[in-house]
C-alpha cells in the first residue's frame, strides 16, 4: 500500500527548472559554450558543481579552470538563479500541485522533498508549502551520492518512516527517475515520453497529477 509521496522540486512542484536553464545558459554564453534545451535535460536533477562540470566538458573546456575558478563560476550562476527565484510566490505552484498536496494531506499520505537544490528550503517557503514538508526535506548536503543514486529518495522514505515500496517518487529528470527506480519505488515522470521513458507512469503535465490516478497506477 502506498503511504508516501516523495517529490522532486524543480520542474515538478514549481517551474524553477526553467530558471536553472536560463542561468546556466547565461553562464555558458560568457564562457563561449553553446548549450540548448536538449543538452539541458542532462543537467536536470544534478548538483550545481556536477552541472558545471558537464557544461565545461560539453564545451571542451574541462581542463581550463582551477577548482577555485569553478567555485566562482558556480557562484555566479547561483546568483543569477537567485534573482529569478526572488519573485516566486504561492501562485507559482505548477497546475494541479496544490490540489495533489491537499489531497495527500487529507488522506494522511506522508510527503517528503527529495531535491538536490540547496535553494529548496527557500523556494518552498516562498511557495507557502513549507509546513507540509515540516521536517521532511532531505538535506542535499548530507548525501554521499546525488541522483541517479537512490540515496536521496531512500532518505526521504526513511524520514517518513516508510519502506521504499510504500512510496511513490515524482520527477521531471532522467537522473531522478533512475534514482527512484533504483530505490525500489514506483516512479512518476513529468515530461515527454522520450525523456521519461524509464518512469513507471508518465504524465505530460502536472495538471494530470491527481492522488487517485497516482495511487491507482502504483497499486495496480
Ligand atoms: C535540482 C535541479 C538542478 C540543480 C540542482 C542544484 O536538482 O534539477 O538543475 O542544478 O537542483 O540546485 P542548486 O539550487 O543547489 O544550485
Ligand atoms: Mg527536477
* Domain-wise residue ranges, the chain: 4-15+93-219, 16-85
Q: Give residue 59's pLDDT.
A: 98
d(CA 135, CA 148): 23
DSSP 94: P
∠ CA 50-115-184, rounded to 5°: 100
For residue range 98-112, list pLDDT tens digits in order.
999 999 999 999 999
For residue 48 and ligand 1, the question of a CB distance below 6 A is answered with: yes
Catalytic status, residue 8 = yes
Rounded to whole angstroms, the Cα distance separating 62 from 134 reads 39
Pick the CATH number of 16-85 from 1.10.579.10, 1.20.1560.10, 2.60.40.1180, 1.10.150.240: 1.10.150.240
Q: Tell whether the model's pLDDT for residue 57 goes beyond 90.
A: yes
Known binding-site positions: 8-10, 24, 43-48, 51, 77, 115-119, 147, 171-172
Predicted local confidence at residue 154, as pLDDT: 98
The DSSP call for residue 167 is: E
pLDDT of residue 220: 81
Encode pLDDT of 156-195 as tens digits.
999 999 999 999 999 999 999 999 999 999 999 999 999 9
Active site residue 149: no
Question: Which residue among 6, 10, 18, 174 is best mutated to probe the pocket of ligand 1, counting the most ligand atoms within 8 A of its Cβ?
Answer: 10
CA separation for the pair 199, 191 (Å, rounded): 10
Residue 186 belongs to what H/E stretch?
strand 186-190
CATH number of 4-15+93-219: 3.40.50.1000
- Contact indicator for 3, 167 with CB cutoff of 8 Å: yes
Burial of 105 (0-12, 13-18, 19+ CB in 10 A): middle
State residue 67's pLDDT score.
97
| ipTM value | 0.98
Mean confidence (pLDDT) of the chain: 97
- Is the Cβ atom of 116 under 6 angstroms away from ligand 1? yes
Do residues 205 and 191 lie in contact, with contact meaning Cβ atoms separated by under 8 Å?
A: no
Residues measured by CB to lie within 5 Å of ligand 2, the ion: 8, 10-11, 172-173
44 Cα: distance to centroid of ligand 1 (angstroms): 7
Between CA 37 and CA 22 the distance in angstroms is: 10
Mean pLDDT of 31-59: 96
Distance between Cα 9 and ligand 1 center (Å): 9
Amino acid at each position: 500500500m502506498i503511504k508516501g509521496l516523495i517529490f522532486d522540486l524543480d520542474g515538478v512542484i514549481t517551474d524553477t527548472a526553467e530558471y536553472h536553464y536560463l542561468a546556466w545558459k547565461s553562464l555558458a554564453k560568457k564562457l563561449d559554450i553553446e548549450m540548448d534545451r536538449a543538452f539541458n535535460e542532462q543537467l536536470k536533477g544534478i548538483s550545481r558543481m556536477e552541472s558545471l562540470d558537464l557544461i565545461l566538458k560539453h564545451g571542451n573546456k574541462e581542463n581550463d579552470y582551477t577548482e577555485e575558478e569553478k567555485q566562482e563560476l558556480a557562484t555566479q550562476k547561483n546568483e543569477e538563479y537567485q534573482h529569478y527565484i526572488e519573485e516566486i510566490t504561492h501562485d507559482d505552484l505548477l497546475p494541479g500541485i496544490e490540489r495533489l498536496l491537499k489531497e495527500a494531506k487529507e488522506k494522511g499520505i506522508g510527503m517528503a522533498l527529495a531535491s538536490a537544490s540547496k535553494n529548496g528550503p527557500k523556494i518552498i517557503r516562498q511557495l507557502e508549502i513549507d509546513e507540509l514538508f515540516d521536517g521532511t526535506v532531505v538535506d542535499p548536503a548530507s548525501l554521499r551520492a546525488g541522483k541517479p543514486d537512490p540515496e536521496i529518495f531512500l532518505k526521504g522514505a526513511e524520514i517518513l518512516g516508510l519502506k521504499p515500496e510504500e512510496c511513490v517518487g515524482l520527477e521531471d529528470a532522467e537522473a531522478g527517475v533512475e534514482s527512484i527506480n533504483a530505490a525500489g519505488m514506483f516512479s512518476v515522470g513529468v515530461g515527454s515520453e522520450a525523456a521519461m521513458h524509464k518512469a513507471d507512469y508518465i504524465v505530460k503535465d502536472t495538471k494530470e497529477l491527481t492522488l487517485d490516478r497516482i495511487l491507482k497506477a502504483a497499486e495496480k
